[in-house]
């Protein structure tokens, strides 16, 4: 049960990282480049 | 909250410690038990997120990847490849993507190793001892440590372990 929680947390961190990368990239391309 | 660490010589003592921690008002989700492979600790709380090296690996990947990406971007800025116009935006983009990909890769790789922040206990765990960690409110640290020490002299209190920071 707790191991599932740890795996879910890891997945959430990976998902959040990719989302932030995409959003910030779009903002950089839109406003900086 | 601080994480108190105790080393227990065997499974019987570990059960005693976990019971005592529960009696002191610490809930099971704040108690973590880590033993070497093959020791039956199914009825005790497991090590949860502390059992693997995902977060420390992720943090290292973010730092190293981000640094490498920004350096690569600055190098491209200083020596632009023929025919390509390099601006500050590229440095930002390279830094961001290198940090992100570095973090993801190092995190996934770290998930298959045991936690590097618990290296200090590795020898003891390999020797058959069992590590018990408990998240305790700061103002109750001394009380809990004393209670466990009083419980059994064979149980060694190993002090406070630093918390993992989610965002480094």
Same domain as B88, residue B59: yes
Same domain as B127, residue B81: no
Q: Is residue B168 part of a domain?
A: no
* Min Cα–Cα distance to chain A from B153, Å: 30
Same domain as B129, residue B46: yes
Same domain as B44, residue B58: no
Same domain as B41, residue B10: yes
Q: Shortest CB distance from A28 goes to which of B46, B93, B111?
A: B93
Q: Do A32 and B111 touch (CB under 8 A)?
A: no
Q: Is residue B85 part of a domain?
A: yes
> What pLDDT score does A1 carry?
41
* Min Cα–Cα distance to chain A from B24, Å: 22
Same domain as B132, residue B85: no
Same domain as B36, residue B62: no
DSSP helix/strand/coil, B111? coil
Q: What is d(CA B45, CA B105) in angstroms, rounded to the nearest whole number?
A: 29
Domain that holds residue B79: 54-110
Check CB contact of B97 with chain A, cutoff 8 Å. Answer: yes
Residue with tokens 């950089």: A28
Residues of chain A contacting B103 with CB distance shorter than 8 Å: 17
> What pLDDT score does B162 carry?
58
Q: What is d(CA B30, CA B51) in angstroms, rounded to the nearest whole number?
A: 14
Q: Indicate if the pLDDT at residue A2 is higher than 80.
A: no
Same domain as B152, residue B126: yes
Q: Is residue B147 part of a domain?
A: yes
Q: Is residue B11 part of a domain?
A: yes
Q: Which among B40, B48, B51, B49 has a CA at the least distance from the CA of B15?
A: B40
> What pLDDT score does B68 carry?
96
Q: Is residue B166 part of a domain?
A: no
Q: Whole-model pTM?
A: 0.66
Same domain as B99, residue B71: yes
How many domains is chain B partitioned into structurally?
A: 2
Same domain as B66, residue B46: no
Query: What CATH number has the domain bearing residue B151?
Result: 3.30.70.120
Q: Do A17 and B100 touch (CB under 8 A)?
A: yes
Query: In a structure prediction context, what are the per-residue pLDDT tens digits for chain B, which is 168 residues long?
Result: 788 888 888 888 888 888 888 988 888 888 888 888 778 777 788 776 667 788 889 999 999 999 999 999 999 888 888 777 778 888 999 999 999 999 999 999 988 877 777 777 888 888 888 888 888 888 888 888 888 888 777 777 777 765 555 554
H or E stretch including A4?
Answer: helix A2-31
- Residue B42 CA, chain-centre distance (Å), reads 21
Q: Is residue B156 part of a domain?
A: yes
ipTM of the complex: 0.84
Q: Is residue B25 part of a domain?
A: yes
Check CB contact of A20 with chain B, cutoff 8 Å. Answer: yes
Same domain as B100, residue B65: yes
* Min Cα–Cα distance to chain B from A13, Å: 9
* Min Cα–Cα distance to chain B from A16, Å: 10
What ranges do the domains of chain A cover?
Answer: 1-33
Q: What is d(CA B109, CA B59) in angstroms, rounded to the nearest whole number?
A: 12
- Residue B56 CA, chain-centre distance (Å), reads 6
Q: Do B49 and A6 touch (CB under 8 A)?
A: yes
B156-161 vs B31-34, strand pairing mode: unpaired
> What pLDDT score does B85 carry?
78
Check CB contact of B46 with chain A, cutoff 8 Å. Answer: yes
Q: Indicate if the pLDDT at residue A17 is higher than 70.
A: yes
Chain A to chain B Cβ contacts (< 8 Å):
53
Calculate the alpha carbon distances from B75 to A3, A24, B70, B92 in Å.
Answer: 43, 22, 9, 13
Residues of chain A contacting B53 with CB distance shorter than 8 Å: none
């Amino acid at each position: 049960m707790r191991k599932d929680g740890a795996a879910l947390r890891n997945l959430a961190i990976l998902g959040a990282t990719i989302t932030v990368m995409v959003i910030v990239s779009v903002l950089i391309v839109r406003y900086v480049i | 909250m601080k994480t108190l660490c105790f080393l227990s010589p065997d499974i019987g003592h570990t059960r005693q410690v976990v019971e005592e921690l529960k009696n002191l008002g610490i809930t099971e989700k704040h108690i973590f038990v880590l033993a070497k492979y093959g020791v039956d600790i199914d009825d005790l709380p497991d090590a949860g997120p502390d059992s693997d090296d995902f977060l420390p690996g992720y943090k290292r990947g973010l730092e190293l990847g981000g640094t490498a990406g920004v350096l690569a971007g600055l190098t491209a800025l200083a020596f632009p490849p023929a025919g390509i116009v390099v601006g500050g935006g590229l440095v930002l983009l390279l830094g961001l993507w290198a940090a992100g990909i570095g973090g993801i890769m190092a995190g996934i790789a770290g998930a298959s190793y045991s936690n590097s922040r618990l290296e200090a206990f590795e020898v003891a765990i390999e020797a058959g001892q069992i590590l018990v960690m408990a998240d305790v409110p700061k103002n109750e640290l001394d009380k809990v440590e004393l209670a466990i020490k009083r419980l059994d002299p064979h149980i060694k209190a190993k002090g406070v372990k630093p918390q993992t920071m989610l965002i480094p």
